[in-house]
Amino acid sequence: MAKAQSSFVIPIESKNNALALQVGAKKDLSTIYFGKKLTSTGEYAHVPAVYKQTSDYTGLLNSVYTPSGSRNLMEPAITVTHADGNNSLDLKYVSHKITDVKEGVKLLSVVLKDPVYAFEVTLFYQVYYNEDVIEQWTEIRHQEKGNVILHKFASANLHLKAGSYWLKQYHGDWAKEMQPEESKLTHGIKTLDTKLGTRANLFQPSVFMVSLDKPAGEDEGDILYGALEYSGNFRIDLEVDYQDNLRIIAGINNYASPYTLKTGEIFKTPAFLYTFSDLGKGAASRKLQSWARNYKLMDGKGSRLTLLNNWEATQFDFNENKLAELLKDTKKIGVDLFLLDDGWFANKYPRNDDHAGLGDWQENKKKLPNGIASLVKEAQNNEVKFGIWIEPEMVNPKSELYEKHPDWVVKEDKREEYYFRNQLVLDLSNPQVQDFVYGVVDGLFTKNPELAYIKWDCNAVIYNAHSATLKNQNHFYIEYMRGLYKVLERIRAKYPAVPMMLCSGGGGRVDYAALQYFTEFWPSDNTDPLERIFMQWEYSYFYPAISSSNHVTDWGKQPLKFRTDVAMMGKLGFDIVVSKLSENDLKFCKEAIQVYNGLKPTIWQGNQYRLANPREGSVASMLYLSADLSKGVVFNYLVSSRYDEGSKLPVRLKGLDPVRKYRLKEVNLYPGVSSALSGEQVYSGDFLMKVGFNPLLDLNRTSVVMQIEAL
Ligand code: GLA
């Protein structure tokens, strides 16, 4: 426990960055610095004096956690009504301590207290030294005589100083996930948020970037990345205040969620995650990707299974025989696992389309007279693994589950039901529903211990947010998420290793709270490879390739090779009718999987460098490079079909060892096609980074994969 002196600085330093907090004479805790670390820790204290901005009339403009109802005039981080009905809050520094969590990870906690009320907030900063990542959250508690209402309860409240701020944010819809927009922040508040409850990212994810002074490039400029680790409603306010500083207040969305906090109860907020780089978007993304693999993503350093999925190939129309054929195809093309998608369950209201059956997780006797068990066995006979699709949080009104347990469903009894994809959401705030959802997964594994993979879908948003059992409806959105995480905790306690894909009608639910339980996510139902080049590009700023499930399907007009190359830039899967492939197509797929098996350690664990941005020209180019700089792979695409388009200029590589020599070789060629690159391609790292390399893309050669090996 550090002793409180009159005024002092608490520096939070990682390998390259620093966040400096200052305890003032009146015990207000403020942010005085955020950015590149200073050589001398003692100099953070001099920072405030060199800024000559207009007055801070409150002494709270740069508060680390802005309370409201006292002196504050800006957007608060926390707003409360005390047990006596009073709305004022002030928070003063009491103490702080630093603990070692594990190697490279430290946790700073700072206790703040209201001088008048028995109300306190502890701020937590978990610092990942090597990755320059901070996770920040808070715990709120009180000892007042009666309940306190929390009206706002942010996870973090950052304060940045720069000449201007450029926000890169994302929007989307089904099949159009991760559409970027970049704009200058003006004075006032810009809010990124969702009120969808489940499938929360459908229109907007919580991931964003803020460049300082000018939009950062791929390899230059000051940039902050932020994201809330939460799968439900979030809210991020970016406020440029009258002093021209940027305040970022991020947390659970307080929309329809005033929280009644009992005496002694702890309200813990989800973590807000951020990293900073002065070397542009690329470096920031590599930090975040390493952090995710090292600490957050389930099995981030592990392996993944290639698979054949039947969704695009059969939709709901299959039976045991058809699946047996598909299982043979799985073995034939050489992937590790067969994934059975939607449509395998429900009897009274069979799941033959998306209008019925959700909730009734018993095998459909007509389609699967011998159950999942026989399919698992059939998979074993074919020497592949077997995985299955579920959507356990949901229910169709046409289902036995709905008939039996209407009170388990999120709806307003007084109002007409309203559906998203003909379905409703189950009330995970109800412990009985939690048991049911857990039971869906547990039941599958208990009956089929060899089951090797789960695709967990979530296709509806929450309308008519109301629980039949919850005492305080204002807690609904929060209790839903607590319920979901409880279920996932239980599943992981019993089944710690089984890979699970996080899917949500495409990419409607991707965040680092959920990815603690899932090995991968489904970026979008849109698998048109041209669209995927753009989408995967944007996802890659925040999530490592190993977490991105990319399937080769029949979407789009590109040839099979193009589609496969794009899907290889992550975790490869197929969702095509293998039996309908031409001889050459089949040969290509088989060979592609072999090629992929050789490249996947580099794609999954290597560092990712964006070389040519498809939004800025006709060529897209992405490099994955092993940590020891000895192996790499570059994916190159022509993204325009206009006359005479091609890679006119060489593509400059990044991250290589300038002194070493590298051999480049085109791989993943279609049978019978030879590479346009003739002769031995050996260049120094220096040459490849300063001059570059031409993949010779043209209208007949739209997709080129280059393998790189240090000699
Ligand atoms: C969602 C998923 C798809 C597929 C279907 C099945 O749309 O994103 O991949 O599983 O559901 O109904």
Q: pLDDT tens digit string along 412-467?
A: 999 999 999 999 999 999 999 999 999 999 999 999 999 999 999 999 999 999 99
Q: Are strands 105-113 and 92-102 parallel, antiparallel or unpaired?
A: antiparallel
Band of residue 1 on the pLDDT scale cut at 50, 70, 90 = very low
Q: Cβ(503) to ligand 1 under 6 A?
A: yes
Distance from residue 506's CA to the centre of ligand 1 (Å):
7
Q: pLDDT tens digit string along 516-528?
A: 999 999 999 999 9
Q: Cβ(457) to ligand 1 under 6 A?
A: yes
Q: Residue 253: its pLDDT value, please?
A: 98
Q: Residue 678: its pLDDT value, please?
A: 86
- For the segment 546-568, the average pLDDT, to the nearest whole number, is 98
Tokens of 519: 């090995």
Q: Cβ(144) to ligand 1 under 6 A?
A: no
Q: Residue 5: its pLDDT value, please?
A: 60
Q: Cβ(459) to ligand 1 under 6 A?
A: yes
In this predicted structure, the answer to whether residue 4 has a pLDDT above a threshold of 70 is: no
E strand or H helix at 29: strand 29-36
E strand or H helix at 336: none
How far apart CA 285 and CA 207 sit, in angstroms, is 12
Q: Cβ(311) to ligand 1 under 6 A?
A: yes
How far apart CA 691 and CA 431 sit, in angstroms, is 61
- Least Cα distance to 93 among 72, 67, 118, 121 occurs for 121
Q: Residue 624: its pLDDT value, please?
A: 98
How far apart CA 696 and CA 698 sit, in angstroms, is 6
- For the segment 1-28, the average pLDDT, to the nearest whole number, is 88
Q: Cβ(389) to ligand 1 under 6 A?
A: yes
Which residue's structure tokens are 């993204």?
Answer: 639
Which DSSP string corresponds to 506-555? TBS---TTGGGT-SEE---S---HHHHHHHHHHHTTTS-GGGBEEEE-S-
Band of residue 680 on the pLDDT scale cut at 50, 70, 90 = confident
How far apart CA 327 and CA 325 sit, in angstroms, is 5
- Least Cα distance to 453 among 320, 524, 549 occurs for 549
How far apart CA 239 and CA 262 sit, in angstroms, is 31
Helix segments in 187-245, DSSP class H: none
Q: pLDDT tens digit string along 79-97?
A: 999 999 999 999 999 999 9
Do the Cβ atoms of 436 and 491 come closer than 8 Å? no
Query: Sheet of 17-23: strands edge to edge?
Result: 8-13, 17-23, 29-36
Atom of ligand 1 nearest to the CA of 389: 10
Distance from residue 457's CA to the centre of ligand 1 (Å):
7
Distance from residue 395's CA to the centre of ligand 1 (Å):
15
Q: pLDDT tens digit string along 116-127?
A: 999 999 999 999
- Least Cα distance to 238 among 154, 359, 349 occurs for 154
Tokens of 15: 């390998």
Q: Are strands 631-638 and 222-228 parallel, antiparallel or unpaired?
A: unpaired
Q: Closest Cα to atom 1, ligand 1: which residue?
A: 505
Q: pLDDT tens digit string along 641-679?
A: 999 999 999 999 999 999 999 999 999 999 999 999 988
Distance from residue 305's CA to the centre of ligand 1 (Å):
19
Mean confidence (pLDDT) of the chain? 97
What are the strands, taking DSSP E only, across 341-457?
385-390, 394-395, 424-425, 453-456
How far apart CA 292 and CA 286 sit, in angstroms, is 10
Which residue's structure tokens are 């005492």?
Answer: 471
Do the Cβ atoms of 639 and 704 come closer than 8 Å? no
Burial 51-74 (b: 16+ CB within 10 A, else e): eeeeebeeebbbbbbbbbbeebeb
Q: Closest Cα to atom 2, ligand 1: which residue?
A: 505
Q: Are strands 549-552 and 571-574 parallel, antiparallel or unpaired?
A: parallel
Q: Which of 351, 358, 503 gets mutated to test ligand 1 (max ligand atoms within 8 A of its CB)?
A: 503
- For the segment 334-342, the average pLDDT, to the nearest whole number, is 98
Tokens of 649: 């200029």
Q: pLDDT tens digit string along 589-634?
A: 999 999 999 999 999 999 999 999 999 999 999 999 999 999 999 9
What are the strands, taking DSSP E only, across 457-521?
500-502, 520-521
Q: Is 61 helix (H, G, I), strand (E, B) or coil?
A: coil
How far apart CA 218 and CA 508 sit, in angstroms, is 26
Tokens of 84: 């006596």
Length of the chain: 711
Do the Cβ atoms of 440 and 389 come closer than 8 Å? no
Tokens of 357: 């059956």
Q: pLDDT tens digit string along 142-166?
A: 999 999 999 999 999 999 999 999 9
